[in-house]
């Protein structure tokens, strides 16, 4: 091989190597760009979700950085008894801790990853201790697996839960569990590979021993907003103790930073003073209001409040919990506004809910009933309840008008179906359907206004056109006619 041939071969190798290097570098840049875009989109989704989560509160916040992987906590709960509570608590914690909690109804798509992806990557297991929690086999297995991998527990005492009853149930688990849940033993045996529940009972007793006293927190989802906020702050601080995270809240009072610990190192008992739920916004900034019987469905109203706020991209109020004057003003003055009525067994006898519903119908606001599955409402109840409805501060004439208006709308409007026990997907679906009805209502109102304007602008032109046509044929006919209402005008013309 001659010298020039060798040099040509070497130069070709250099060019080829350069091209390969450029190709590899370009592919690397594309991959990095795609990953960065995906991470950024996820960040925007989380930011948007946090923006509209719990929209009536402006809570303190803290940037929680998970020690075990991905989640602040794993919310272990019995869906039928505490599904709505878990969803609402998940939204609160995400907004306040700037980090997601693991909630199987929204995070899980494969039960096989419940333990490896959920429990193993959560800093704390937060148990919503409802009366039937220990009768659910997957809840028992969550405690078993968390004990095995060493994740600490925090128990929230829901109404009806007692440690004495829980310990008694665990002691007789083999006999009591089949009575309360006949299919549970089969699920446990299939997973554990044995009918001997000794190890499981040890895990359950160990959990109860570890939480009773210092790591038990009260949970009452029917409390007012400021009380709920105090409960969630306490829960987050206890989670921090268990995970070794010192929670220092920002924005506790007027944006000032403050530690949750007093000089002795113990948690302080705080009274949280919130701004009014209106948050200083004008009424037109709200997208809707949810009316409910707060003794029965306040938690469900809060869950739907979050999802509907996301869909409307405006905050949504819950009626009855605010100054009624503000709610009524919002209903009467807001534009593109929806009023949602959660149908439960006695909501049609609820004074504040029916007062606000009557005001909404009178103001021609869109009213959307939502049928809550399992809450005792039947469509046959509407006429008897509304026919005998009595509202404070109404004259007999006003009361008769309110009854007629509500009877015209509530029984004749197709309700949106929602089962809160079946996870967050149905809450989102209900919110989307409500948004769809609002959009249809806005479009119909806009079309009606356009038709009315067209009719008003079209009618006056008919005689003008006729007079111009006659005027061309007979010039004298185009002279203005005398005003017969003023006979003197014609006399002096």
Identify the pLDDT of residue 263.
37
Identify the pLDDT of residue 202.
96
327 versus 154: which is more confidently predicted? 154
Position 399 pLDDT exceeds 50: yes
Over residues 136-159, mean pLDDT: 95
Sorted by where each begins, the domain ranges of the chain are 71-258, 283-442
Residue whose C-alpha is closest to residue 292's, from 228, 227, 375, 220: 375
Over residues 381-386, mean pLDDT: 89
CB 348 within 8 A of CB 321: no
CB 167 within 8 A of CB 191: no
How many residues make up the chain in this entry?
493
Q: Which two tokens stand for residue 325?
A: 């004057």
Read off the pLDDT of residues 304-321 as tens digits, 9 standing for 90 and up. Answer: 998 899 899 888 888 865
Identify the pLDDT of residue 398.
87
**Predicted confidence band of residue 478 (pLDDT cuts 50, 70, 90):** very low
Position 433 pLDDT exceeds 60: yes
**pTM exceeds 0.75 for this model:** no
Q: Which two tokens stand for residue 219?
A: 């949970």
The least confident of 107-111, 373-377, 402-406, 417-421 is 107-111
Identify the pLDDT of residue 422.
76
Identify the pLDDT of residue 493.
33
Position 492 pLDDT exceeds 80: no
Identify the pLDDT of residue 65.
94
Q: Which segments of 334-423 does DSSP mark as H helices, in order?
A: 351-362, 382-387, 396-409
Identify the pLDDT of residue 265.
37
Please state whether beta strands 216-218 and 249-253 pair in parallel, antiparallel, or not at all (unpaired).
unpaired
**Predicted confidence band of residue 55 (pLDDT cuts 50, 70, 90):** very low
Over residues 451-477, mean pLDDT: 58
Looking at domain 283-442, its CATH architecture is 3-Layer(aba) Sandwich (3.40)
Identify the pLDDT of residue 155.
97
Identify the pLDDT of residue 125.
97
Over residues 230-249, mean pLDDT: 93
268 versus 80: which is more confidently predicted? 80
Radius of gyration from C-alpha coordinates of the chain: 32
Read off the pLDDT of residues 2-42 as tens digits, 9 standing for 90 and up. Answer: 665 556 555 666 667 777 777 787 787 787 877 777 666 65
Position 351 pLDDT exceeds 80: yes
Over residues 56-78, mean pLDDT: 88
Query: Any idea which residue has 């992806």 for tokens?
Result: 117
Identify the pLDDT of residue 466.
45
Please state whether beta strands 249-253 and 256-258 pair in parallel, antiparallel, or not at all (unpaired).
antiparallel
Position 210 pLDDT exceeds 70: yes
The rounded percent of the chain whose pLDDT value lies above 70 is: 76
Identify the pLDDT of residue 357.
92
- 71-258 against 283-442: fold identical: yes
154 versus 378: which is more confidently predicted? 154
Distance CA(102)–CA(145), nearest Å, equals 15
Q: What is the mean pLDDT of the chain?
A: 80
Q: Which two tokens stand for residue 423?
A: 């996870």
Q: Which two tokens stand for residue 334?
A: 């807001």
Q: Which two tokens stand for residue 351?
A: 């004074």
Distance CA(296)–CA(116), nearest Å, equals 36
User: What's domain 71-258's superfamily in CATH?
Assistant: Toll/interleukin-1 receptor homology (TIR) domain (3.40.50.10140)
Identify the pLDDT of residue 477.
45
């Amino acid at each position: 091989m001659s010298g020039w041939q060798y040099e040509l071969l070497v130069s070709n190798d250099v060019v080829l190597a350069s091209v390969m290097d450029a190709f590899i570098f370009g592919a690397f840049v594309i991959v990095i760009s795609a990953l960065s875009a995906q991470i950024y989109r996820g960040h925007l989704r989380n930011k948007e979700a946090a923006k509209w989560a719990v929209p009536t509160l402006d809570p303190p916040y803290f940037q929680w950085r998970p020690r075990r992987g991905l989640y602040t906590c794993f919310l272990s709960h019995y869906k039928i008894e505490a599904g709505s509570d878990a969803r609402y608590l998940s939204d609160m914690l995400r907004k306040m801790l700037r980090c997601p909690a693991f909630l199987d109804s929204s995070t899980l798509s494969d039960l096989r990853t419940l333990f490896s992806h959920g429990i193993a990557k959560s800093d704390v297991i937060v148990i919503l201790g409802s009366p039937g929690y220990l009768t659910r086999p997957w809840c028992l297995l969550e405690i078993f697996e968390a004990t095995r991998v060493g994740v600490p527990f925090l128990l929230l005492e829901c109404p009806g839960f007692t440690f004495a009853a829980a310990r008694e149930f665990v002691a007789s688990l083999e006999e009591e569990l089949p009575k309360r849940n006949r299919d549970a033993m089969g699920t446990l045996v299939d997973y554990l590979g044995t009918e001997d529940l000794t190890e499981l009972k040890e895990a359950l007793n160990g959990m109860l021993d570890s939480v009773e006293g210092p790591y038990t927190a009260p949970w009452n989802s029917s409390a007012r907003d400021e009380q709920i906020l105090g409960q969630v702050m306490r829960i987050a601080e206890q989670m921090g103790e268990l995970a070794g995270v010192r929670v220092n809240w920002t924005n506790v009072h007027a944006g000032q930073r403050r530690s949750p610990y007093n000089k002795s190192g113990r948690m302080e008992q705080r009274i949280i003073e919130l701004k009014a739920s209106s948050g200083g916004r004008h009424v037109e900034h709200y997208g809707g209001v949810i009316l409910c019987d707060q003794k029965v469905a306040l938690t469900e109203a809060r869950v739907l409040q979050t999802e509907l706020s996301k869909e409307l991209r405006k905050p949504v109020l819950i009626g009855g919990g605010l100054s009624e004057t503000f709610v009524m003003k919002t209903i009467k003055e807001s534009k593109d506004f929806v009023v949602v009525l959660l149908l439960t067994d006695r909501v049609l006898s609820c004074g504040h809910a029916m007062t606000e519903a009557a005001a909404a119908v009178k103001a021609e606001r869109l009213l959307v009933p939502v049928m809550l599955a399992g809450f005792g409402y039947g469509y046959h109840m509407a006429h008897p309840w509304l026919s005998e409805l009595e509202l404070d501060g109404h004259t007999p004439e006003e009361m008769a008008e309110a009854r007629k208006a509500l009877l015209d709308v509530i029984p004749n409007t197709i309700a949106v179906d929602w089962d809160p026990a079946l996870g967050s997907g149905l809450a989102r679906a209900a919110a989307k359907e409500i948004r769809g009805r609002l959009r249809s209502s806005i479009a119909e109102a806009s079309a009606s206004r356009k038709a009315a304007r067209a009719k008003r602008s079209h009618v006056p032109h008919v005689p003008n056109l006729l007079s111009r046509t006659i005027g061309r044929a007979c010039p004298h006919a185009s002279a203005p006619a005398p005003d017969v209402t003023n006979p003197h005008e014609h006399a002096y013309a």
